[in-house]
Structure 1
Amino acid sequence: MRISEAESIVMEALWRHEGAQSAEDIVAATAAAQGWQEATVKTLLNRLLKKRAIAAERDGRRYLYRALLKRADYVHVESKSLLDRLYGGRIAPLVAHFSERSKLSKKDIAEIRALIEEIERGR
């Protein structure tokens, strides 16, 4: 399932709060920062419903929305897609790119080292 950038903003609003939220709650959490109208958010909710990334249940005269797609699953798919498209599925060229272009901070380097050590201990 492919989630657009705009849809991911709506998903982030749902992931941030446990439980179901009304369309009005989601509009309040996303619309102003994005310059969206209420209709835009509702269109995005409908797209996400069709993709089965979210579910809706009737609550009186309104619907409450909740995420079906877990954030960790979304991040995994997006990360894999990025690696596949830009780096042939390999992580080392991604890290090298950031090393060359962004000057990894000492903290970043320490975290990468700790992660590598953890991975090696697990093998």
Structure 2
Amino acid sequence: MSKKIPSISESEWEIMTVLWEEAPLTANDVISTLQERTDWKPKTIRTLLDRLVKKNVVGVNKEQRIYTFFPLYSQDECQHAEAESFVKRIYGGALKSMLVQFIQEDSLSEEDIQELRSILDPKQKKQPH
């Protein structure tokens, strides 16, 4: 059973992206990185960082004079949780419906099709017939 990852807002994803790129970071490091990418005020960034700490998505190292922040979940774990939540909300949990819709509407290259096959083939072999 995978651990339940709290839901992360779009703004909070921005913070997480900075921490996934390089952590641990001080609040000021996060602020300066985000101010290059966004027009957010330092107070906004601090609020989002605090919210992520309260949600237990970001940890704080309080051993130094200046606190540093680090992600408690990998980017993969969070992307997986978000994808699962999206499929449940939009497609009633039916992954197949979502995949069919994407495949029908998106023009897949030969390379994309091969990549999908390479993912699906091993799964097919594991299925009992």
TM-score range normalised by the length of the shorter chain: 0.7 to 0.9
Residue matched to 1:8: 13
Deviation of 1:73 (Å): 2.1
The sequence identity of aligned pairs, in percent, is 28
Q: Take 1:122 and 1:27, find their aligned partners in 2: how far apart are those partners?
A: 47
Residue matched to 1:75: 79
After superposition, the C-alpha distances for 1:41-60 in whole angstroms (9 at most, x for unaligned) are: 11111101111111112322
Residue matched to 2:27: 23
- Number of equivalent positions: 121
Q: Take 1:107 and 1:94, find their aligned partners in 2: how far apart are those partners?
A: 20
Deviation of 1:36 (Å): 1.0
Match of 1:110 among 104, 114, 129: 114
Match of 2:53 among 40, 49, 61: 49
The residue type equivalent to 1:2 in the other structure is: S
After superposition, the C-alpha distances for 1:62-111 in whole angstroms (9 at most, x for unaligned) are: 21001112322212211111111122222222222222322122222111
- Bigger relative contact order, structure 1 or 2 (CA pairs below 8 A, ≥6 apart): 2
Residue matched to 1:34: 38
The residue type equivalent to 2:110 in the other structure is: K
Length-normalised TM-score, structure 2: 0.83
Q: Take 1:12 and 1:6, find their aligned partners in 2: how far apart are those partners?
A: 10
Residues 98 and 104 in structure 1, CA contact (< 8 A), matched pair in contact too: no
Unmatched segments (≥5 aa) in structure 2:
1-5
Deviation of 1:32 (Å): 2.6
